[in-house]
A and B are shown apart, each in its own frame.
Chain A
Amino acid sequence: MFERSWTDGLPVVPPTTERVRKMLEGTTRPADEIVVSVPPNLIECTVEKIAINAVMAGCRPEFLPVVIAALETICTEEFNMHGVLATTMSVGPIFVVNGPITLDIGMNSGINVLGHGNRANSTIGRAVQLVVHNVGGGGPGGVDRSTLGHMGKQGFCFSENEFSSPWPSLAESRGYNSAQNVITAFTGEGPRLVMDQKSRKPDSLIRTLAEHLISTVSSRVVVGMDAMLVLSPEHAARFHEAGWTKERFLEEITEMMMIDTDNIIEGSNGIEEGLPTSMKGIRLPKFRPDGLLLVQAGGTAGLFSAIIGGWLNGPPGSEPTSKEILL
């Protein structure tokens, strides 16, 4: 299978007829239903093709609806998977799953949430990437031109620690209710740690987070790229215990990340990169409205959070995209 270029470089589970048949039991959708048109070659893809790749990735049948929904998010004009593949930047699709299904299928929202070790987290993202490679024809060295890439491009999927938090989940913030199973795709790079082990007050911790977020992707890029902040339980508790709402958090951090463009004009501080000189003398926000996605996840011990920088947003780039997961 490796020699046929069917894999992502790692061993895969051979997709025998029996295994694929069992995988298809994970969904009520017919095997011959065409679900998406997969970039970059825009090939129509059936539920069965997705099931074959899900077997190879090591998925269990109950993960299949999530894999299908994940593909439904990225094979859209708004997500722009072709652009995400073809860019030289180090980004790939990152999936956040919300809703009761995360418990039903045993996803991980806790310790090592952005790492390895959980079958659902690891294989759902991997299955999606295998479909893009095998069906869509997108793989490294071909249409995928990422200069550096990141390991999450093998598959990056996790669930949110939503059930014990007073704040609405990512899906709820995006208009869904807590009973719905939802997957959100975000184009992002590898996670970067934010360390703050001393701030006990939310007013202090939020400044640490703002200070780090302001340099996301580049300290000289404003508005044009989004980011995801993964707030760990211990950090989130600083805000919950002080009675902050998610809305207040986002309003205050947005205000803290207003940037004087004089400091990031090309040539300023001896740096050739930067905004054109025509943009001198104004203040701009680091992120566009709703450009910072906040997700709560991680182990209960550790005063660290993580930032995942994004790619170009809006019509020229990729939009975070959510879809309900149909069983």
Chain B
Amino acid sequence: MTNEKVLLDPTSESTPSERSLSERPETMDGLTVGLLDISKGRGDIFLNRLEEKLSDSGIKILRFKKPTFTKPAPIDLRHEIASKCDAVIEALAD
């Protein structure tokens, strides 16, 4: 008689499907980049500096802000960023 027992799996048993990122452009010409502030302290100061330097590089910057760093960005905000920007930089998690 075997002593083996079948155990049921307590996990999600799921494998996330690979999601592809949008194509990266070859140059910065005409690029619009969103800067998404996750609303943690000091992040705005960091992003202000990034905005300054990215703008000096010829990149158009749009600023966005999550209502709280403790939750994912609201869906409307995500849609707005996706519709207005070629890329988004999210900062600053600590």
- Select the residue from B6, B10, B14, B69 with max chain A CB neighbours within 10 A: B10
Which one of A15, A86, A87 contacts B10 once the chains associate, using CB atoms below 8 Å?
Answer: A15
A1:B7 contact, CB within 8 angstroms: yes
Instruction: List chain B residues, Cβ under 8 A from A43.
Output: 12, 14
Which one of B6, B68, B69 contacts A17 once the chains associate, using CB atoms below 8 Å?
Answer: B6
B7:A16 contact, CB within 8 angstroms: yes
> What does DSSP make chain B's interface, helix, strand, loop or mixed?
loop
Q: How far is the CA of A87 from the CA of B68 in the complex (A)?
A: 12
B8:A130 contact, CB within 8 angstroms: no
Chain B binder among A159-167, A196-204, A312-320 = A312-320
Q: What is the chain B residue whose CB lies nearest that of A77? A: B71
B71:A82 contact, CB within 8 angstroms: yes
B70:A41 contact, CB within 8 angstroms: no
B68:A6 contact, CB within 8 angstroms: no
B68:A316 contact, CB within 8 angstroms: yes
Q: How far is the CA of A82 from the CA of B14 in the complex (A)?
A: 19
Interface residues of B in 4-18 (CB under 8 A from A): 5-12, 14, 16
Q: What is the chain B residue whose CB lies nearest that of A53? A: B10
A52:B10 contact, CB within 8 angstroms: yes
Min CB distance, B84 to chain A, in Å?
Answer: 25
Q: Give the total of A residues in contact with B, Cβ under 8 Å.
A: 33
B12:A80 contact, CB within 8 angstroms: no
Q: How far is the CA of A56 from the CA of B9 in the complex (A)?
A: 11
Which one of B7, B9, B14, B71 contacts A83 once the chains associate, using CB atoms below 8 Å?
Answer: B71
Which one of B10, B39, B69 contacts A49 once the chains associate, using CB atoms below 8 Å?
Answer: B10
Which one of B5, B12, B67, B71 contacts A41 once the chains associate, using CB atoms below 8 Å?
Answer: B12
B10:A56 contact, CB within 8 angstroms: yes
Min CB distance, A235 to chain B, in Å?
Answer: 34
Instruction: List chain B residues, Cβ under 8 A from A289.
Output: none
B35-67: CB near A (< 8 Å → 1, else 0) gives 000010000000000000000000000000001
Q: What is the chain B residue whose CB lies nearest that of A18? A: B5
B12:A83 contact, CB within 8 angstroms: no
Give the A-B pair count, Cβ closer than 8 A.
62
Instruction: List chain B residues, Cβ under 8 A from A48.
Output: 8
Q: What is the chain B residue whose CB lies nearest that of A88? A: B94
A16:B14 contact, CB within 8 angstroms: no
A65-88: CB near B (< 8 Å → 1, else 0) gives 000000000000100101100110
Interface residues of A in 13-43 (CB under 8 A from B): 14-17, 20, 38, 41, 43
- Select the residue from B8, B16, B39 with max chain A CB neighbours within 10 A: B8
Q: How far is the CA of A152 from the CA of B61 in the complex (A)?
A: 45
Instruction: List chain B residues, Cβ under 8 A from A56.
Output: 10
Q: Does B72 contact A (CB under 8 A)?
A: yes
Instruction: List chain A residues, Cβ under 8 A from B8.
Output: 15-17, 20, 48, 52
Min CB distance, A133 to chain B, in Å?
Answer: 9
Instruction: List chain B residues, Cβ under 8 A from A209.
Output: none
Min CB distance, A135 to chain B, in Å?
Answer: 5
A6:B10 contact, CB within 8 angstroms: yes
Min CB distance, A22 to chain B, in Å?
Answer: 12
B12:A315 contact, CB within 8 angstroms: no
Min CB distance, A117 to chain B, in Å?
Answer: 25
A134:B70 contact, CB within 8 angstroms: no
Instruction: List chain B residues, Cβ under 8 A from A6.
Output: 10-11
Which one of B6, B12, B69, B71 contacts A137 once the chains associate, using CB atoms below 8 Å?
Answer: B12
Listed by A's residue number, 9 A-B pairs whose Cβ atoms lie within 8 Å are A15-B7, A16-B7, A52-B9, A82-B72, A83-B71, A86-B70, A135-B12, A137-B12, A316-B71
Give residues in B with beta carbon < 8 Å to A. Answer: 5-12, 14, 16, 39, 67-72
Contacts A16-B7, A41-B16, A134-B11 aside, 7 further interface pairs with beta carbons under 8 A come to A1-B7, A16-B5, A45-B12, A82-B70, A131-B10, A134-B10, A316-B68
